[in-house]
Amino acid sequence: MGLNCADSVLLDRYVKRKRIVKRGQVLYRVGEEFAHAYAIRSGSVKTCISTDDGRLQITGFHIPGELLGLNAVDENRYNCEAVALETTSVCEISASCFEELARQIPSMHYQMLRMMSREVKHNQKLMLLLGKKNAEERLATYLLNLSRRFAMRNFSSTQFNLSMSRGDIGNYLGIAEETVSRTLTRFQEEGMIICERRLIILKDVKRLSGIAREFNPAIAQVIPLLRPTPRL
């Protein structure tokens, strides 16, 4: 995200070297171990995430003077490539400043950083969902996400209560509440779930997963980023 002049000065001692990157060249990929942050000097760069079938959602463009790659407390979660017609050049910034960061803050505060990082991750997935998924995919993604979170807290992962209304779910997923209702009904007719008002029982998680088209870092790495985004 944005970096103003005051910020830049502070980063100077970490700058390693300047690089020219070709259009379409990938600076880093989702899931790769974190190596550098970059300050854009000219041209511009985009960051994106993708579904497991290769639909891309661009999450941001970065113009000269801006910095990127700093959201990676544990691992990168965007792909990132140069996008401008003109020459794009960047400064590499050493990863060592992050190691320092990790060493210097007490563990409790590091946990908080990790939580902010998780927040970013959640937002990524929601953006991908809002930008590129259809109603069925949105609902399936949502149910599986809830399931996983309940499991993590030692509740049943296949049977739970939606504590939120259809309207709220629709708002969250960017669809109308009627569409939520219809889609849940269809899932039920096809035997994937049992859905009685707020009670949800997942009957066929595998098929739901197939529909959800979730973010998949492993596959994201091999997408030829120069190609236009595949249509739904």
Give the binding site for DNA (CB under 7 A): 134-136, 162, 165-167, 170, 174-182, 184-185, 195, 197-198, 228, 231-232
- Binding to a second copy by CB under 8 A, coded x per residue (else -) over 13-42, reads ------------------------------
Query: Measured from the CB atom, is 33 or 86 closer to a second copy?
Result: 86
Least distance from C-beta 144 to DNA, angstroms? Answer: 17
The site partner of 111 among DNA, a second copy, none (C-beta below 5 to 8 Å per kind) is a second copy
Tell me, rounded to whole angstroms, the distance of Cα 216 from its chain centroid. Answer: 10
Check if the beta carbon of residue 77 is closer than 8 Å to that of residue 33. no
Q: Using CB atoms within 10 Å of the CB of residue 119, give its burial: 0 to 12 exposed, 13 to 18 middle, 19+ buried.
A: exposed
Query: Measured from the CB atom, is 191 or 232 closer to a second copy?
Result: 232
The site partner of 136 among DNA, a second copy, none (C-beta below 5 to 8 Å per kind) is DNA
Query: Measured from the CB atom, is 103 or 231 closer to DNA?
Result: 231
Task: Count Cβ neighbours within 10 Å for each residue of 135-172 and write b for 16 or more, e otherwise.
Answer: bbbbbbbbbbbbbeebeeeeeebeebebeeebeebbee
Task: Pick out residues in 146-185 that bind a second copy (CB under 8 A).
Answer: 146, 149-150, 152-153, 163-165, 167-168, 171-172, 174
Residue 195 phi, psi (nearest 5):
-135, 110
Tokens, residue 57: 């959602």
- CB proximity list for 203: less than 8 A, separation 6 or greater: 158, 191, 192, 193, 194
Does 218 participate in binding a second copy (rule CB under 8 A)?
Answer: no
The site partner of 135 among DNA, a second copy, none (C-beta below 5 to 8 Å per kind) is DNA
Sign for the CA dihedral angle at 166, 168, 169, 173 comes to: positive
The site partner of 182 among DNA, a second copy, none (C-beta below 5 to 8 Å per kind) is DNA
